[in-house]
Chain A
Amino acid sequence: MRLRIPLIVVGTLIAAGVKGQNAIPSNQEPRAANSLQNSLPGPWGELDYYEIPLVGPEETLQMIDVPSEQTGWAFQLETEEEIVSALKKEGIPEEEIEELVANSVLIVDAEGSRLFPNNETLTKIPPSTRQKLYRFLGRHGQNRFHRRPVYLNSANVSTWFQGTDLPRSVLQAVAELAYPTPSGTGFFLADVPYLMQQANSSPEERLILHALMRRPTLMVRLKLDADSDLEALTSYWSAGFKNKAVRPLMESIVRTSDVGRIDIAHLLPPTPRRTLYTFPEASEGISGRYPDWFWSCYNFFRFTPVNVYADSPERDALIATEFEPALPPYQYGDMILLNSGTRRIHGCIYVADDIVYTKNGADVFSPWILMKLKDVVAYHDLAGEIAAAVYRKR
């Protein structure tokens, strides 16, 4: 079973949202009245949720190298002509390429070439061109910010960075430099070096980097009271007995308590409950690597995690033997694989409505979180070509 994630180009949203003048109010503005949202009702019951940003542990954030404020793009090409030709192939208008090259410094050495655009040129790049250019740069390992850009799931920059104390100048720069994701949901930001120009001290550098390293997640609650259809809800959340341990608590809450709403962390199996909203600890990398998306998906229903990873030789065999393709409607615990061509680039676990459990990277900066599926797709879909396949644990 394969799903095609629709590609919706939302370049116009930039003008209205991220890049619009009204999109950058002071971050001191009053908070919105309510951030709680409701899911669509379904067999999972009635959910409400809100978003919070997770910040990694200080000792982890201190490992981050502060980049130079000089923007530089690496090409594994040897001449200006080769660069121009490559960019043309990406569909970037010729006049924009010419301006880019004319207003940049090119340094070529034995390992390739680097192009250093000036600020004016950098900020003038139209969003659609930036999307194409940065997608191209992302294929080259040296361009770390393009290879894994910051993902903003909102056009409202001041909301996204709420609570970070970033100065207005930084928010303005972000709004100017963010560009639409290929999937059409949310925005990418790759011009971290440019933002460093706004920092006048090392604390300000850290402030910016820490703000960019925040990972938004959803906190989700299930309505559970005497009016709930207990049988239906326990049937859904116990996932065909794979997660039967949640029954006693759900039954008790309905039968004996007026809790009203319960955080769905209580309804996760033990392993994801342990990891949810946490960043990997050093002890989890003691075998030489940290948990990634496949580790997280494969171990979702396992009490004791097994160390298998996205590039483990046995990965596909495990999927074939322990999972089976699933058709809609999707069920709690289904594994959603995101494929780019023949490559499996990510996987996450379906929870309810459009909410999934995911770990978006194998690094220590990627926590286990709950996200909207469309945001997970947008985060990973660097080329606009992702298709999803869904599997169910046998």
Chain B
Amino acid sequence: MHSSAALFLRSVRIANALRCRFALSWLISAVFLPGAALADQIPGERPSGKRVTEGPWGKLEYYEVTLEPPTSHLWDALYTERSFWNFGKIQREEAVALFHAFRFSPSLVDLIEAEGRWTETKQGLELDITDRIVETMTPENRAAIARWFRKNSDDFFSRLLINLEAGDTTAMYDRLKPGTVDLVNSVSFRRGRVLSVMDRPYLLSKLGNDEDEKKALIHSLFSTRALVARLVVDDISNIEALTDYWSAGGKNPGVRAILGGVKAAPGVEHVDMVHLLPPVARKYLSGFISLQDVNPSNTPDCFWAALQFFKSTPSPRVLDPLGLDHYLGHDFEEVPGERTFGDVVCIFKKEDGDFLHSYVHVADDIVFTKNGASFARPLILTLKSYMMSVYQDEDQYFERTFRRKVGT
């Protein structure tokens, strides 16, 4: 079992480092093993239509939607067609030695030697790679070098890698030409159960002058699976029980009026879940963060979203470099057993106890989350299995659940 010290003795320095990493990330790509709830998820499965879950939360109906970031949230650098790797402070000979360690084929190493262009930059040793190099790499080659970047050059890794939601490219056929999806498939690779792409510049260059398809590709790569959910409120609904669940012990008091009102409206049988969420969650639901939310050193991330779930307005204080226990250790209590609406779940790496991700439990497998600090990732209701599809790579993790105290 993990030690509580792993969480509560976390220093400001560590939190700063984490936050810094978040701020620079396009996507937090953390390290997990599937929990029991995830074991049944099949990568590539793409359910459609209405789904239903029943429990103490009542009867929830939900639909999957795919949110793409608006153009304003996709910055110019995403459209660069320069393919390169950054090796940080190591020497060229060391980098070449890595290729052998990564088990690159001799022909690939020869190709890199012949066509790759090495340069020393302020950011470290860089290698520009050609389309032929990209096309010669196997998924295993990509996974190996991605693993090294993640361990040794986390910032570059975060900029390079895109994890595809739900672990497959099926949804891209709704948006992209079949040939483009095939192209994405040709360079995608698995890291554990996560499907990743690191050759975005190559993909863009292959689309030539088809600017619309390039835009569609970038939007599609950053698309996020979300849910639109609604609660059934009909003649047999137990309003007291529903209010008890969704008011979260008085932390979300407004739901009583909504639930009672909907029940009293003849012919109406549902209420959208947006009305059952507390103010901050409602404000950001299915939306993207604004420049109003950021400060020069940090941007809202998963923890920012989870911590303020029950708040009436988001606090800029939560962007400050505080230790994780600053709030969790005082305004929350760790709770064992069954989770309920509004519980904050923090995920830690089993190997070293490092914080990886946090989300809010909503009901059953439905969670409220912001996957990483990227501007391109919205705050959403989604299935835990969808959320984990971008986190669940080679490593193991554990979870701890925290419940906000009433009045904090």
Contact = CB atoms under 8 A, between A and B. Distances in A.
Interface of A: 31-36, 50-57, 162-163, 217, 219, 244-245, 247-249, 251-253, 255-259, 262-263, 265-266, 270-271, 273-279, 281, 283-284, 303-304
A273 B285 contact: yes
B337 interface: no
A284 B312 contact: yes
B312 A256 contact: no
A284 B287 CA distance: 23
A53 B359 CA distance: 33
Interface centre among A31, A57, A278 (most CB of B within 10 A): A278
Nearest to B267: A34
B262 A52 contact: yes
Interface of B: 48-50, 63-70, 72, 171, 174-175, 226, 228, 230, 253-254, 256-258, 260-262, 264-268, 271-272, 274-275, 279-280, 282-288, 290, 292-293, 312-313, 378
A33 B70 contact: no
Contacts of A283: 312-313
A213 to B, nearest CB: 11
A36 to B, nearest CB: 5
A256 to B, nearest CB: 5
A36 B267 CA distance: 6
B174 A258 contact: no
A162 B264 contact: yes
Contact of A33 (B230, B261, B266): B266
B261 A259 contact: no
Contact of A303 (B175, B230, B264, B290): B290
A323 to B, nearest CB: 21
A255 B70 CA distance: 16
A284 B49 CA distance: 40
A140 B382 CA distance: 54
A259 to B, nearest CB: 5
B66 to A, nearest CB: 5
Nearest to B254: A278
Contact of A252 (B67, B258, B275, B290): B67
A33 B254 CA distance: 27
A259 B267 contact: no
Contacts of A32: 266-267
A276 B274 CA distance: 10
A55 B239 CA distance: 15
Scoring B258, B260, B268 by chain A CB atoms within 10 A of each residue's CB, the highest score goes to B268
Nearest to B256: A55
A258 B63 CA distance: 7
14 contacts: A31-B266, A52-B258, A52-B260, A54-B258, A57-B254, A219-B261, A258-B48, A259-B65, A262-B272, A265-B272, A265-B282, A274-B279, A275-B279, A278-B279
A253 B230 CA distance: 14
Contact of B262 (A55, A219, A274): A219
Contacts of A274: 279-280, 282-283, 313
Contacts of B268: 35-36, 50, 219
Contacts of B266: 31-35
Q: Which 3 A-B pairs have the closest CB atoms?
A: A52-B261, A34-B267, A263-B272
A275 B275 CA distance: 10
B258 to A, nearest CB: 6
A245 B274 contact: no
A245 B288 CA distance: 8
A275 B279 CA distance: 7
B260 A163 contact: yes
B312 A281 contact: yes
Contacts of B50: 258
Contact of B275 (A253, A259, A271, A277): A277
Contact of A265 (B264, B275, B290): B275
Contact of B286 (A249, A275, A303): A249
A304 B283 contact: no
Given A57-B254, A271-B283, 9 more contacts: A35-B268, A256-B65, A258-B63, A270-B290, A274-B283, A274-B313, A275-B279, A276-B275, A279-B254
Contacts of A263: 230, 272, 274-275
B130 to A, nearest CB: 35
A53 B272 contact: no
A76 B68 CA distance: 63
A219 B258 CA distance: 10
Contacts of B264: 31, 52-53, 162-163
Contacts of A279: 254
A244 B260 contact: no
Contact of A55 (B260, B271, B290): B260
Given A266-B286, A274-B282, A248 B69 contact: yes
B63 A266 contact: no
B404 to A, nearest CB: 15
Contacts of B64: 256-257
Given A248-B68, A266-B272, A35 B63 contact: no
Contacts of B265: 35, 50-52, 219
A247 B70 contact: yes
A169 B280 CA distance: 43
A279 to B, nearest CB: 7
Contacts of B290: 270, 303-304
Contact of A304 (B66, B171, B262, B292): B292
Given A31-B266, A274-B282, A257 B70 contact: no
B267 A265 contact: no
A273 B283 contact: yes
A56 B260 CA distance: 12
B24 to A, nearest CB: 23
Contacts of B261: 52-54, 217, 219
B61 to A, nearest CB: 10
Contacts of B175: 255
B63 A277 contact: no
